[in-house]
Amino acid sequence: MSNDKPKPDFSNVKSGSSSTAPKPAAPAEQIYTVVAGDNLSKISRKFYGDANQWKRIFEANRDQLKNPDLIHPGQKLKIPAKT
Amino acid sequence: MRFLRYLVLLCLVSLCFAACQRSEAPEAAPPPAAAPAPAPAPFRVSGIDLGNAIGADKRVAAPGSSFAATDTIYASVATEGASPSVTLVARWTYQDGQLVSEETQTIAPTGAAVTEFHIAKPDGWPAGGYQVEVIANGASAGTRAFQVQ
């Protein structure tokens, strides 16, 4: 029989922050050159930290992408600024 | 008549001398160049206060280190100096080292500023000791300990 108390659960803690200081200027759109093994989800994770934002990259590159699953090494993709 | 001629000559010489003196007068010194604007102060965290309420200026109304289980706990971080980008992180931990929450705020301060971080727990905080560490651009800027009764 263990006397160890269960660890408190902090999974429902809500946090936030705000500041009187201005936010840094958003970086401008970037250009990324596709390398072997890339896909839009992977690139999205690299730039936004979230693979699910691949559609933003797809929409920004509709002029050269017809199929989001087809990108090629050497292709230069516009990466919209992180919001 | 001769005396009159001398007098006129003397006047002319005096006038010439006065004119020359005036033209040789030193020019007024140029106004001093405007002093260069002082370089902006480097960014630094100047204070960390804890409290259970903040004002519109993001400062805690009544700094303290003891809270009730139902409190929202605020850490008000005062900073000085300017920087194009500073990442402030508030890392809240429980007495056993367990991470309670970590919150990041990126700012571009142009002078004195205040950034607040807050945490709340709908079902109440477990009693015990906690601490919040404020990290600025990856370096610890200070730690504050507090208790929940």
pLDDT in tens, A31-66: 899 988 999 999 999 888 899 999 999 999 999 999
Residue A49 backbone zone (phi > 0: left; psi -120 to 50: alpha; other: beta):
left
A83 neighbourhood in chain B, CB within 8 Å = none
* CB-CB under 8 Å, B119 with A19: no
A23 → chain B, closest CA residue: B107
* CB-CB under 8 Å, A15 with B103: yes
* CB-CB under 8 Å, A22 with B107: yes
pLDDT at B23: 47
Residue pair B92/B130 in contact by the 8 Å Cβ criterion: yes
Strands (E), chain B: 44-51, 66-67, 73-80, 86-94, 99-107, 113-120, 128-136, 139-148
pLDDT at B113: 97
pLDDT tens by residue, chain B, 149 residues? 555 566 555 545 554 444 445 444 445 555 566 666 667 789 999 999 999 999 999 999 899 999 999 999 999 999 999 999 999 999 999 999 999 999 889 999 999 999 999 999 999 999 999 999 999 999 999 999 999 99
- H or E segment and range at residue A82: none
Of the partner residues A12, A22, A23, the one whose CB lies closest to the CB of residue B122: A12
How far off is chain A from B149, nearest CA to CA, in Å? 15
Distance CA B39, CA B36 (A): 9
Residue pair B146/B66 in contact by the 8 Å Cβ criterion: yes
- H or E segment and range at residue A16: strand A14-19
